[in-house]
Amino acid sequence: MTSSTTPLHYLSLAEAAAALAAGRVSSAELTDAVIARAEAVEPRLRALLSADPASARAQAQASDARRAGGGSLGPLDGIPIGLKDVIAVRDQPLTAGSRMLEKFISPYDATVTRRLREAGAVLYGRHNCDEFAMGSSTENSAFHPTGNPWALDRVPGGSSGGSAAALAAGEALATLGSDTGGSIRQPAALCGVVGLKPTYGRVSRFGLVAYASSLDQIGPFGRTVEDVALVLQAIAGHDERDSTSVGAAAEDFAAALSAPSVPRRLGLPREYFGEGLDPEVAVAVERAVTHYRELGCEVREVSLPHTPYCLDTYYVLATAEASSNLARYDGIRYGHRCAAPRDLHDLYFRSRAEGFGAEVKRRIILGTYVLSSGYYDAYYLRAQKVRTLVRQDFLRAFEQVDALLTPTSPIPAFRRGEKANPLAMYLCDIYTIGANLAGLPAMSVPCGFTRAGLPVGFQLIGKPLGESELLAIGHAYDRVHQWGRRRPNL
């Protein structure tokens, strides 16, 4: 890739880091390019919910000053990075795509935010998403939908649709999303960028607006697998503010990419290639499989027999946790409060009725139901048992293979309003939910386009805490094809 022909806002993070290190570009220039790009495309794309150009420029200047003083903080120093609007940034809005938090300003930084700051990143842009990360198209945002940069009348996927679209459109050099059932990987596939959901516990959730605590993970979007590795390096690691974060030994994820390429054993779970898979998606994924064969990888079919139960299990567990996690939005301490409440119950009922959208209400009601006395054993407890079986399926498969390769999404980007039936929308996550239930790292890597010019991605699912290997396998394909470097005609 020659950076001379690439606009600054479309550089890969690695290229930008090299250019900054060589003094060919300043963080201020990079940041200005990204801000200008956002101003140009936002009226049509609407990936941002808010942005603070003044703060970004100040951070960029501080980065340039640091570098001039010989004190660069590493590859992210001076790189404009945007965040999904579910990740807390001190003194910035934190809406979670909801009317409930429309006017909420976070008084504190999430741990990932703090770590990005410590790595010198320039934080720019709060990305649109489905309300409280519930959805697969970003249409559930209370504020506005976001377009897909490759076809503006189509959705960018979700729930981290804004973060995927913003990156694909050049409004950041990398972004962070969150993934509870596929909310990073599916929009990555639909927007043609790389998206990684790390192992549950690899990245701290402190400061992430909770949807379903046992499934939520923050992860990076990048134009390349290498970029994703560089961002993961900055945000991963144990955090004493999140007791579910893992105390794993530090790893050098970027270095893992440059390790000599070893042919790996890849598994194709037969349950992931059946009915409902779009033929063009199937073809693109097959071509990626062929590429791995040519690299000397052993590819074999495997079975994850509990796959048919994943979706149901997910919607029991995720909604149960959500019903409790979202109880704090009550209009008492912060957030939306209805006008002139008559009494406490009126305040609760109307504040929540006005503050939450339909999908959020649907999931709160579902979750309240599955936890109620008399139903707990039949739903929640049973779903936890199925979850264990799902995880065992994966661990058994990993006795035979190093990673699993599947389509990320059964279909490419669909038209806005096309999936009005919630159940049809839920099927978008059918290939991604398993990795959340099992707590495994999984990544979507772009692998081509449909005839209509819509991006397609494949998913790699790795072993617990196997990010290094997962990134290495993804990089073996991505370094050759670089589909994520293509630029939409915006």
Partner 1 sequence: MSTPAAPQPASYEAVIGLEVHVQIRTRSKVFTRVAAGYGHEPNTLTDPVVLALPGALPVMNRAALDAIIKAGLLLGCEIAPVCKWDRKNYFYPDSPKNYQISQYDAPVCRGGSVEIELPGPARNLMGEHKRIPLTRIHLEEDVGKLSHGATDSLVDYNRAGTPLMEIVSEPALQSGEEAYAYLTSLRATMIQGGISDCDMEKGQLRCDANISLRPIGSTTLGTKVELKNLNSISFVRDGIEHEIRRQRSILERGGRITQETRDYDGMTGTSQSLRSKEEAHDYRYFPDPDLMPVVIDAAWQERLRAECPELLFDRQRRFLADYQLPFTQTSVLVWDRPLADYFEAVVRLGAAPQAAGNWIINDLRRELAAAGLDPAASRVSPANLVALLRLVDSGAVLNAAAKEVFVEMFATGDSPDAIADRQGLRAAPTDSGELENWCRDAIAGNAKAAAEFRSGKDGAINALKGPVMKAAKGKANPKAVDETLRRLLATG
Question: What residues make contact with partner 1 under the rule CB under 8 A?
Answer: 86-88, 94, 96, 101, 104, 106-108, 110, 205-210, 212-214, 240-244, 320-321, 323-324, 327-328, 330, 332-334, 344, 348, 368, 371-373, 376, 380
Handedness of CA 47, 51, 57, 60 (dihedral sign): negative
Active-site residue among 63, 137, 159, 245?
159
Tell the smallest beta-carbon distance from residue 156 to partner 1 (Å): 23
Residue number, 35 or 210, with CB nearest to partner 1: 210
Residue number, 38 or 318, with CB nearest to partner 1: 318
Tell the smallest beta-carbon distance from residue 244 to partner 1 (Å): 6
Tell the smallest beta-carbon distance from residue 390 to partner 1 (Å): 16
Residue number, 41 or 209, with CB nearest to partner 1: 209
Residue number, 341 or 422, with CB nearest to partner 1: 341
CB 56 within 8 Å of CB 80: yes
Can you give the C-alpha Rg of the chain in angstroms?
21
Residue number, 303 or 372, with CB nearest to partner 1: 372
CA-CA distance, 301 to 297, in Å (whole number)?
13
Tell the smallest beta-carbon distance from residue 335 to partner 1 (Å): 8
Which tokens is 316 given?
Answer: 């029991």
Active-site residue among 183, 245, 409, 468?
183
Tell the smallest beta-carbon distance from residue 295 to partner 1 (Å): 39
Q: For this structure, is 361 an active site residue?
A: no
Residue number, 136 or 323, with CB nearest to partner 1: 323
Tell the smallest beta-carbon distance from residue 105 to partner 1 (Å): 11
Residue number, 111 or 307, with CB nearest to partner 1: 111
Q: For this structure, is 159 an active site residue?
A: yes
Tell the smallest beta-carbon distance from residue 459 to partner 1 (Å): 24
CB 313 within 8 Å of CB 383: yes
Tell the smallest beta-carbon distance from residue 83 to partner 1 (Å): 12
Q: For this structure, is 419 an active site residue?
A: no
Please give the backbone phi and psi of residue 186, each rounded to the nearest 5 degrees, phi first. Answer: -65, -50
Active-site residue among 84, 197, 419, 463?
84
Residue number, 64 or 321, with CB nearest to partner 1: 321
Which tokens is 456 given?
Answer: 């397609």
Which tokens is 366 given?
Answer: 């579902």
CA-CA distance, 379 to 323, in Å (whole number)?
14
Q: Residue type for 78, please?
A: G
Q: Which residues are catalytic?
A: 84, 159, 183
